[in-house]
Amino acid sequence: MQSRAQAMAALLELLADQPVIICNGFPSREAQKLADRPTHFYMIGSMGNAAAIGLGVALSKPSKKVIVFDGDGNVLMGMGTLATVGALRPKNFIHVVFDNEVYGSTGNQPTISNVVQLEKVAKAAGYVAVERVLDREDLVYEFKDMLKNDGPAMLLVKVNEFVEDAGRIALEPPAITARFMKAIE
């Protein structure tokens, strides 16, 4: 099984200037280390809200594909947002969930995503396309497909618990906001 950073690197290679909302904890830190782009919005708090922030961007910028990099703990915390996305059906919304079945930023306590299949919840809520992938080849194939087609889509990628040695987010939060706003103008 690949690590979250390996999966994230494969996806970032396929992205250029699309807005990417990245959930709090290690995912944001790893994304910053892999490729720090002005189009990245790094969350450091407000766990559970990544998809809702992305939804707000997607509804306001219908011409841009908006990507959310989320985690299983985050999705479980804000699971109601799957319903909101499913009901509103923004075509330009791609929800990537890196599922390692643990709360990795607080010491690998188990989540319940080993039991609850989050992509099936998304499908039931009204996401147009959902896929669960394990290896890099499938990940790249499905993500390319989602970039081309109308969503909302969820790509759930099973990853191991490995965490990159990645430092804290370098920019102050107001600077992240300002840089992101300018980049997606």
Does 170 help bind other proteins (rule: CB under 8 A)?
Answer: no
Does 185 help bind other proteins (rule: CB under 8 A)?
Answer: yes
Does 122 help bind other proteins (rule: CB under 8 A)?
Answer: no
Query: Per CB under 8 A, which of residues 31..60 are in contact with other proteins?
Result: 41, 43-49, 52-60
The CA-to-CA distance between both ends of the chain, in Å, stands at 38
Residue 51 host element (H or E): helix 50-60
Whose structure tokens read 């300002």? 178
Question: CA torsion, points 20, 33, 117, 125, in degrees to nearest 10?
Answer: -10
Q: Say if CB 81 and CB 147 are below 8 A apart.
A: no
Asked if the bond preceding 27 is cis, omega within 30° of 0, the reply is no
Does 91 help bind other proteins (rule: CB under 8 A)?
Answer: no
With CB under 8 A as the contact rule, the residue among 83, 128, 140, 147 that binds other proteins is 83
Does 176 help bind other proteins (rule: CB under 8 A)?
Answer: yes
- For the record, the structure tokens of 183 come out as 């980049």
With CB under 8 A as the contact rule, the residue among 71, 73, 78, 104 that binds other proteins is 78
With CB under 8 A as the contact rule, the residue among 7, 22, 23, 184 that binds other proteins is 184
Does 116 help bind other proteins (rule: CB under 8 A)?
Answer: no
Strands (E), 10-56: 20-22, 40-42
Q: Which residues bind other proteins (CB under 8 A)?
A: 19, 21, 41, 43-49, 52-61, 78, 80-81, 83-84, 87-88, 173-174, 176-178, 180-181, 184-185
